[in-house]
Structure 1
């Protein structure tokens, strides 16, 4: 009897844990945010220009393109442009150097090291 009760408890825990796995996949939200937002008027029409900066590894299809409401007005996507910019990625490199020193004075040790780029 004790064995059946233990098996039933284990089965109940297993079934309870598997329910969230069967739930519908959550809607994937946009993971990118604009680096600048500009509001302006073109004629009588209010416009909003959003600029996103993505790396080469980012997926532009994740940029939100849905209609949205702001200040009681409905805005929709007019155009999406891509501008490739040639740039340089900067990476800080730290190197550890071990040198013999005749003194324990840190200022003299640092002066003896030549700065490098």
Structure 2
């Protein structure tokens, strides 16, 4: 192989890599846009079913335990879509729901002899 052939192969390979990166960037942008759209829909549903105090409590939970907050949001949306919610959820009702969803902690008592 001559230098011209090697340079041509390198140029083609570089073009392929750049094309793949552009396609990946476009896919990433589309996924980000879809994620933002889903987040906006979730936010709108939560605005409809939660009173302001309960929303504040959920936002506080998001800061400390994001995975748990996400699962709570999913549960609330499922309840709303299935029609099991009557009216908005107050802060007291939300506390009760959180108590049901929070895993129970086990206490261990160690006694020394």
TM-score normalised over the length of structure 1: 0.30
Higher strand share: 1
Which protein has the larger Cα radius of gyration, Structure 1 or Structure 2? 1
TM-score normalised over the length of structure 2: 0.30
Higher helix share: 2
